[in-house]
Amino acid sequence: MSKLVRAGVWAIVALVGTAAFARIALYRGETINAAWLLTAALCVYAIAYRFYSKLIAAKVFALDARRSTPAVRLDDGRDFVPTNRWVVFGHHFAAIAGPGPLVGPTLAAQFGYLPGVIWIIVGVALGGAVQDFVILCASVRRNGKSLGQMAREEIGPVAGATALVAVLGIMIVLLAVLALVVVNALKSSPWGIVTIGLTIPIAMLMGVYLRWIRPGRVLEASAMGIVLIIAALFVGRSVSENATLAPAFTFSGITVAIAVMVYSFTASVLPVWLLLAPRDYLSAFVKIGVVLALALGIIISLPPLHMPALTRFTDGTGPVFAGKVFPFAFITIACGAISGFHALVSSGTTPKMLASEPDARMIGYGSMLMESLVAVMALIAACALTPGVYFAINAPAGAIGTTAASAAEAVRHWGFTLNPGDMEALARQVGEKTLLSRTGGAPSLALGMAQLFANVLGGGAALAIWYHFAIMFEALFILTTLDAGTRVGRFMIQDLGKHLWAPIGRPAWYPAIVLSSALIVAMWGHFLYQGVIDPLGGINSLWPLFGISNQLLAAVALCVATTVFIKMGKVRYSFITLMPLAWLTIVTMAAGWQKMFSPDPTLGFISHAKVIQGQIASGALPAGVATVAAARRMIFNDYLDAAVAAFFMVSVVVILADSFREWYVVLAGRKPAVSSEVPFETPFAVTGD
Amino acid sequence: MPRERSMTTRELVQATRERVERAACVVRRIIGVPDYDRYVAHVRARHPGTEPLAYEEFVRQRLADRYNRPGTRCC
């Protein structure tokens, strides 16, 4: 009987989910309510978790509570610590969720809500959550080994080395594009810059408090920090309203970019306790708080989506970024659907904390579903804006000009409406000089969130505070990713560089620390600077590169997972990882190829370089470029971007080829299928002889 | 009577304090604060005879480890 009831409940969930999906896909009215998107997402998540993750847990890995986890076996009170599963869940979620799932869906909203929402929901169920879960299981069964180690040991040294270098490449592109998002949110915004600037001394104050005043009282220090950053929000407002101070804190994009580079370099060479760690604690609180607030705001106000299901920009002529809906919707949204970076977390700290094997299902699969929900909510916030406002904020100056009138004209030309007066009023209402061409996704997401929050609390008068609150938290956790990422990049350079010149590998030698920090900042800083001065807005070239690199890492993870399946003798189930792997390979290859060779100069790096070359040869200069030298630098950057895309594509091919070779020799019986898992061991004493 | 009442109040305060401390402990571990007490308990239980690291040194090592390799955070 209870079995029947349960089957009935699941049948209802399936029916409701299907109905919601049908409504989203087929409805073509003026607006659709956000509730439909949320319902479709939640039903799919429930079914995927209950049935698909269970299949993986039971049939592939046969997760067993009696089998000791590394945390139990190797418990050292430091790295390996058996931890309550809800704590691990929270920890893992806080580690995987960052600005990625917020920015990607916002940018992809230029295609309409439909491609984004389908990819986020289906992609996570069959791709992203699967990847996180199987890599977590594989690592737990191998004493918490990292993805790089598993690639080397399971597939081979070639794949292992490629993965190692690719991770560094991905870090560089990731840091550059996130820095660009922050720069675009803070340029010519005295309010934003003062608020974010103040978070640095606030974090240092927390650091000093934790080291000397009350050591270890992290929650006290964080509470103090949160009160202070709220105060900083109001200090920022006073500065922006002050006629003499406001211009003094109004900086160009280039100035903000240099400030971000100097900050990240400094954070990388300073001791961790002073800046990085306190900032990280603060950012974790703000992150979880904002995700909850966003969910609350959406659930209470259930906004109608003004963006159509599909826009005309599915044809590849979009102003936010160039390229057709296939493959670029699937590249633009990485985090939220599938993100290779998570494989590093799933094979990093998390596997060393699991107290019991079956917990891996909730932590690996479950927290990725949560991140996917965050991505759906970001998409809702972006699509709740009217399309005219959305495009005026997210299209570069090259596409909409620099005045409200020219923006309104461009938007009208695209088939949407925008009243120039409204755009100026909106900017004033949120305390900014202008909202035009604030590309990168952060400002439009902040506006979408501010409108949701203001609906619930404070009304229109509170819009400015909510907008800057949203900008502050986005910038806060992007900067936390930047400073921590720069430091990790510094260690990676020291690690790789020591093969060329041994002294750079010395971990505590100050010149090596300074040199390698400067090197990593220079690497991502170059791409950032190029993005800031790019008349097409920078996001157009950098975000797709980031997406390609992230999906490349996911391909590595899925290759490792497939190899693990085959060596466990579970080749029957390899469709679970081969399906997303095949899709990602198609998507990354198609996107990489188009970014390199497309004849459309807004899309293809090489054809863009050729166009500028032609302009220089005929004595003209591209719009927005002042000197021939600057134009030549753009050509160099185009070729550099093309080379980066080529590098990522070659990496995918190498890793796939090496994996195929390994699968072939194992399946053909030329190499025994021996699983490298740590043998079954139970923590309970075995009775008998 | 008043004596007994003050006992229950004290117990209530005690119970609340314990509950808050437990919740604080969960929050600390979620945001990744090194857990020194657990480490000391571990050393005392599993490695009798060895002296655990001092608090400062333990925290320094934990933080250094957290920020020197990929895999502790994502985008």
Following CA atoms A479, A484, A489, A491 in sequence, which dihedral angle do they give, to the nearest 10 degrees?
160
Q: What residues of A are in contact with residue B50 (Cβ under 8 Å)?
A: none
CB A17 within 8 A of CB A43: yes
Q: Is A539 exposed, middle or buried (0-12, 13-18, 19+ CB in 10 A)?
A: buried
Nearest residue to A478 (alpha-carbon basis) of A102, A92, A108:
A102
Contact B71/A281, CB-based, under 8 Å?
no
Residue B1 pLDDT > 70: no
Q: What is the pLDDT of residues A173-203, one digit of tens each?
A: 999 999 999 999 999 999 999 999 999 999 9
The tens digit of pLDDT for each residue in A107-150 reads 999 999 999 999 999 999 999 999 999 999 999 999 999 999 99
Identify from A147, A149, A280, A486 which residue to disrupt to test chain B contact, counting B C-beta atoms within 10 A and taking the largest count: A280
Q: Read off the amino acid at residue A463.
A: L
What is the phi/psi pair of residue A304, to 5°?
Answer: -75, 145
Nearest CA in chain A to B26: A87
Listed in sequence order, the residues at least 6 apart from A187 whose beta carbon sits closer than 8 Å to its beta carbon are A251, A252, A253, A255, A256
Calculate how close chain B gets to A349, using CA atoms only, in Å: 6
Instruction: For residue A102, give the nearest of A263, A333, A434, A415 by alpha carbon.
Output: A333
For range A233-256, the mean pLDDT: 94
CB contact under 8 A, A90 and B30: yes
Question: Residue A341: which of B40, B68, B75 has the nearest Cβ?
Answer: B75
What are the structural domain ranges in chain B?
A: 1-33, 34-75
| B33 interaction partners in chain A (CB closer than 8 Å) | 216, 218, 281
Asked whether A438 and A182 are in contact (CB, 8 A), the reply is no
pLDDT tens digits, A279-306:
999 998 888 888 888 999 999 999 999 9
**Conformational region of residue A201, where left means phi above 0, alpha means psi within -120 to 50, and beta covers everything else:** alpha
Percent residues over pLDDT 90 in chain A:
79
Which DSSP string corresponds to A202-254?
HHHHHHHIIIIISTT-HHHHHHHHHHHHHHHHHHHHHHHH-TTHHHHT---HH
Q: What CATH code would you report for A2-189+250-667?
A: 1.20.1740.10
Q: Taking 50 as the threshold, does the pLDDT of residue A335 lie above it? A: yes
Taking only residues 331 to 350 of chain A, the set having a beta carbon closer than 8 angstroms to any beta carbon of chain B reads: 335, 339, 341-342, 344-345, 347-349
Q: Does A216 touch chain B (CB under 8 A)?
A: yes
Q: What are the sequence ranges of the domains in chain A? A: 2-189+250-667
Model ipTM value: 0.86
DSSP 3-state assignment of A536? coil
CA A423 centroid distance within chain: 29
Which residues of B, range 25-54, sit inside 8 Å of A by Cβ? 26-36, 38-43, 46
Flag whether residue A259 sits within 8 Å of chain B, measured between CB atoms: no
Measured in angstroms, the CA of B5 and the nearest CA of chain A are apart by: 32
Q: Give me A426's structure tokens.
A: 């909106």
pLDDT band, very low/low/confident/very high, at A686 (cuts 50, 70, 90):
very low
Contact between A102 and A336 (Cβ < 8 Å): no
Contact list in B for residue A78 (CB cut-off 8 A) is: 34, 39, 58, 61-62
Chain A from 539 to 578: CB within 8 A of any B CB: 550
